[in-house]
């Protein structure tokens, strides 16, 4: 810290220093970070380079206040230069947990080749008991690297607590250079896992969270099949290695059989008139070699079965991927339908404002206008329950003394819906009655 203080630029003129807004004692500042309340003070941090009036290796400047108006400058909270943040302590968050303040920030690292775009980033932790002096966590980083399908952009953690879990989001970029947000979760601010994007088909997708549970099911199936496929392929590789050896053994067995036959024929030509080996000894030896050959052929059969299993697993994997694609397309259709409905709602509101001079409508009137719009444009439902809900909407609006809709228009709409319900009932009765005899 003394080294930092000695390098700070000196102020020659304080005439234009801000008296109300937060301002560093000297040097460059930018992004505000880690706004929190701790031990009776509001704390704010900011990106800071104390040694010059332009951007440089980022530190965390620090100020506190009891009333959000009068601010006290505190010593620099984070200084870069350690192994996990050697070229900068980039933006992050501050949270209070178990009576301590925790800073979660991005460590910035250059590769040292002079290219400012050639860098990598990780996420680190620092802890304070008094809100002034901070110790960096000894086992930093808490998130060491970005997912495999990410570029080097992986920074600025925002952290919050909800329902017994800590959550962290990071600004990032995929390999197609599209921006995205990564969501992590933790029980203790130290051990973090990707909450929904865990090494699978969701890695480079951006889908609304309300659909994650269903899509996660397909992701789990996908990962399970990938693991099964990897096991099968590993088994096949092992079998192939065995076959390579057994193929060589087969060749040696065939050669041995030929040598035995040749040797048996040569026994009668022994110069001394004596037989060193009896023919039945050689037959037993030949039987052993035959058993070896049979075992080798069995190994080949098992390998063929494994290949068939591999084909089945790959087919199942293709089915899961097709299901996922269908799910994605269904979701896109639903989104388009919601957008169309929203555009219709906006159009109705504009029409009411322009045609009737109505700036504010009750919820009852909005729903009634929607039903009347459907009736006017003959967009009639075939569902009895929907038609009954339309009738209830119009009768409720008719009973509302503050409605902006003409009573005669509502009465006509009520009669239209009643007739519609009657037609639906008649149609349903005809369907279930069946053909007459």
**Per-residue confidence (pLDDT) for residue 343, from 0 to 100:** 66
Question: Is the same domain home to 186 and 229?
Answer: no
Q: Which residue in 71, 42, 83, 77 sits closest to 58, CA to CA?
A: 77
Give buried/exposed letters for 203-236 (b at 16+ CB in 10 A, else e).
beeeeeeeebeebeebbebbeebbeebeebeeeb
Question: Is the same domain home to 67 and 145?
Answer: yes
- CB neighbours of residue 168 within 10 Å: 23
pLDDT band at residue 241 using 50, 70 and 90 as cut-offs? confident
Q: Which residue in 299, 302, 323 sits closest to 232, CA to CA?
A: 302
Question: Is the same domain home to 136 and 279?
Answer: no
- In-domain check, residue 349: no
Tell me the whole-structure pTM to 2 decimals.
0.47
pLDDT band at residue 379 using 50, 70 and 90 as cut-offs? confident
Question: Is the same domain home to 157 and 283?
Answer: no
Q: Which residues contact 383 (CB under 8 A, 6 or more apart)?
A: 424
Q: How many domains does the chain have?
A: 3
User: Domain of 139: which CATH number?
Assistant: 2.115.10.20
- The 3-class secondary structure across 165-186, one letter per residue, is EEEEEEEEEECCCCEEEEEEEE
- In-domain check, residue 203: no
Question: Is the same domain home to 100 and 145?
Answer: yes
Distances in Å between the Cα of 436 and the Cα atoms of 424, 431, 432 are 20, 11, 11
- In-domain check, residue 401: yes
Question: Is the same domain home to 153 and 26?
Answer: yes
Burial degree of 260 (CB within 10 A; 0-12, 13-18, 19+): middle
- For residues 114-119, give the mean pLDDT: 86
- In-domain check, residue 121: yes
- In-domain check, residue 212: no
d(Cα 63, Cα 43) in Å, to the nearest integer? 6
Question: Is the same domain home to 186 and 103?
Answer: yes
- For residues 157-161, give the mean pLDDT: 96
Joined tokens for residue 249: 């053994």
Instruction: Report the mean per-residue pLDDT for the chain.
Output: 79
Partners of 168 in beta bridges:
159, 184
Question: Is the same domain home to 185 and 269?
Answer: no
pLDDT digit string (tens) for 305-345? 767 766 776 777 677 677 767 777 777 777 777 667 666 66
Which domain, by its residues, includes 25? 2-195
Please tell me the least confidently modeled range out of 92-96, 168-172, 275-279: 275-279
Strands (E) across 69-140 are located at 71-78, 89-97, 100-110, 119-128, 135-136
- In-domain check, residue 115: yes
């Amino acid at each position: 810290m003394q080294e930092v203080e000695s390098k700070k630029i000196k102020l020659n003129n304080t005439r234009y220093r801000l008296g109300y807004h937060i301002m560093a004692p000297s040097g460059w500042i930018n992004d505000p970070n880690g706004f929190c309340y701790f031990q009776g003070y509001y704390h704010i941090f900011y990106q800071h380079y104390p040694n010059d009036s332009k951007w440089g290796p980022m530190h965390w400047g620090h100020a506190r206040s009891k009333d959000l108006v009068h601010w006290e400058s505190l010593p620099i909270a984070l200084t870069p230069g350690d192994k996990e943040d050697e070229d900068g302590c980039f933006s992050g968050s501050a949270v209070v947990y178990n009576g301590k303040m925790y800073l979660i920030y991005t460590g910035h690292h250059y590769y040292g080749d002079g290219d400012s775009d050639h860098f990598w980033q990780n996420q680190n932790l620092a802890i304070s008991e008094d809100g002034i002096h901070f110790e960096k966590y000894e086992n930093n980083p808490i998130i060491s690297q970005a997912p495999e399908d990410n570029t080097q952009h992986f920074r600025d953690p925002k952290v919050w607590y909800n329902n017994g879990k800590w959550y962290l989001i990071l600004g990032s970029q995929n390999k197609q250079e599209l921006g995205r947000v990564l969501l992590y979760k933790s029980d203790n601010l130290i051990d973090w896992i990707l909450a929904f994007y865990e090494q699978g088909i969701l890695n480079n997708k951006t889908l609304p969270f309300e659909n994650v549970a269903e899509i996660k099911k397909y992701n789990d199936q996908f990962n399970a099949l990938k693991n099964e496929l990897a096991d099968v392929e590993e088994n096949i590789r092992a079998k192939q290695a065995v076959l390579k050896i057994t193929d060589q053994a087969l060749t040696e067995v065939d050669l041995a059989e030929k040598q035995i036959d040749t040797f048996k024929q040569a026994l009668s030509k022994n110069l001394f008139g004596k037989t060193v080996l009896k023919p039945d000894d050689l037959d037993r030896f030949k039987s052993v070699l035959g058993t070896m050959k049979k075992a080798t052929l069995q190994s080949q059969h098992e390998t063929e079965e494994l290949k068939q299993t591999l084909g089945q697993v790959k087919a199942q994997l293709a089915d899961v991927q097709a299901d996922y694609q269908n799910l994605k397309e269904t979701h896109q259709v639903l989104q388009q339908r919601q957008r169309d409905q929203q555009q219709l709602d906006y159009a109705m509101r504009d029409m009411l404002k322009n045609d009737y001079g109505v700036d504010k409508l009750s919820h009852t009137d909005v729903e009634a206008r929607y039903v009347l719009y459907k009736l006017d444009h003959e967009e009639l439902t075939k569902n009895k329950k929907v038609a009954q809900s339309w009738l209830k909407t119009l009768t409720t609006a008719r009973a509302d003394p503050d409605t902006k809709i003409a009573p005669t228009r509502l009465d006509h709409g009520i009669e239209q819906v009643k007739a519609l319900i009657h037609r639906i009932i008649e149609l349903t009765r005809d369907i279930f009655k069946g053909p007459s005899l």
